[in-house]
Copies of this chain bind each other. A is one copy, B any other.
Amino acid sequence: MGFIADCQARLAFDLLANTWNAVVLWALRHGPRRPGRLREEIGGISTKVLTETLRRLEFNGLITRRTYAEAPPRVEYELTDLGRTLLGPIEAFGAWAHDHADEVMAAQDRWET
């Protein structure tokens, strides 16, 4: 029933099953962002991986890519309505981490043997 194997929940898990998808979605929560700005705000992500992540999110209909015919070129990424509906679940994880990060790290430290 409902949540295992090839079910729909797996689709959602797959959307978040990489290092940057959720981070980039979260970084877009306040509105459109240019890639350079995204890299600053996120920190630690290369341009290549950022563009790959943005392509994935665009492919899944979670963000849109808007280009402006200027020079130097300008591009903005923005959450779609669909993408915005993911902010709630993502925030649930953020809140969980805020409450339990110390417990996870304590559990990890117990394995120093």
Contacts and interface: CB of A to CB of B under 8 A. Distances in A.
Contact of A3 (B15, B26, B99): B26
Contact of A5 (B42, B62, B94, B106): B42
Determine how many copies of this chain the complex contains.
2
B60 A5 contact: no
A106 B61 CA distance: 8
Given A11-B101, A108-B59, A94 B26 contact: no
B82 A13 contact: no
A44 B111 CA distance: 30
Interface string A1-44: 01111101111111111110011001100000000000001111
Contacts of A12: 93-94, 96-97, 101
12 contacts: A4-B23, A5-B42, A6-B43, A8-B94, A8-B97, A12-B93, A13-B19, A17-B17, A60-B107, A62-B104, A82-B107, A88-B96
